[in-house]
Amino acid sequence: MTDKFEIEMFGDMNPDSCFDLDEATNLIHHEVVRIQDRAYLPVPPSDKAGLIVGALHLNDEVEVIIKFKEGLLQLTKEEFNAGFVVAD
């Protein structure tokens, strides 16, 4: 036997693509819009705006929860940055 282990990584574990807990909790109560709806800024209508209502720490990854009129979204930092803009 040897003390060497072979580790195979799945997915992208780039630390810059993940929220840290402080970053995610500081976004709570901020209004967001989807990138395609950014023309409605600075005061988007209620059907275009979402509210960050929580953070979820799951499997060493922090995600934000956004409440829109039609339902909830759970997003990683990479998904959030690719599709949403903070309105305020």
52 burial type by CB count under 10 A (0-12 exposed, 13-18 middle, 19+ buried): buried
What's the pLDDT tens digit per position in 24-80? 999 999 999 999 998 988 898 999 999 999 999 988 899 999 999 999 999 999 999
Residue 31 near residue 51, CB atoms below 8 Å: yes
Task: With 0.85 as the threshold, say if the pTM is over it.
Answer: no
Token pair in block for residue 3: 């003390």
pLDDT reading at 16 higher than 80 = no
At 8 the pLDDT is 65
Q: What is the DSSP letter of 3?
A: S
d(CA 55, CA 65): 6
Mean pLDDT of 3-22: 71
d(CA 63, CA 36): 21
